Amino acid sequence: MLLDIKELSSIADYVVICSADSERQVHALSKQIEDDLQLLKVKPLSIEGLGEGKWVLMDYNDVIVHIFLAPVRAYYDLEGLWADAERIESGDDDITDDADSPRASGSAG
């Protein structure tokens, strides 16, 4: 979930909230985000929570990324905290694990 918080807070312009099913997935997501942004020469101001792997916070100044274990995300309910924020649709809501899906097979759809 991508939230536009520019008009609501001075801490950042956007908040990304996502979840994973295991601590290993939380670590993998945070590593992939860090690696991808590093290729663009974007470095985080800080990364917190990697030791626990239940909630990783990545601060990229204008963008804050939260990666949660699913039950931890439900418990803290940041979407509820930012209920007044505009939700930005990514267009990827229809991605599935179905092998017949054009997106799953890597084909353009």
Question: Is 31 among the domain residues?
Answer: yes
Inside any domain, residue 104 = no
pTM of the predicted model as reported, rounded to 2 decimal places? 0.79
d(CA 13, CA 68): 20
Assigned domain for 99 exists: no
What is the C-alpha to C-alpha distance for residues 48 and 34, in angstroms, rounded to an integer? 12
Would you say residue 98 lies in a domain?
no
What are residue 68's DSSP bridge partners? 19, 55
In a domain, 73, yes or no: yes
Model confidence pLDDT, tens digit, residues 29-83:
999 999 999 999 999 999 999 999 999 999 999 999 999 999 999 999 999 999 9
Is 32 inside any structural domain? yes
Residue 89 pLDDT class (50, 70, 90 cuts): confident
- State yes or no: pLDDT of 100 exceeds 70: no
| All residues at 6 or more sequence positions from 8 whose CB lies less than 8 Å from its CB, including other chains | 82, 84, 85
Closest to 16 (Cα-Cα) out of 73, 98, 71, 54:
73
Confidence of residue 91 (pLDDT cuts 50, 70, 90): low
Domain that holds residue 37: 2-91
pLDDT digits (tens, 9 = 90+) for 3-23: 999 999 999 999 999 999 999
- The tokens describing 87, both together, are 């939700």
* Of 103 and 67, more confident: 67
- CA–CA distance from 32 to each of 28, 29, 38, 39, 67 (Å)? 6, 5, 10, 11, 12
Contact 12, 96 (CB under 8 A): no
Instruction: Give the chain's domain count.
Output: 1
Q: Does some domain include residue 57?
A: yes
User: Residue 51: inside a domain, yes or no?
Assistant: yes
CATH number of the domain residue 65 falls in: 3.30.460.10
* Model confidence at 85: pLDDT above 70: yes
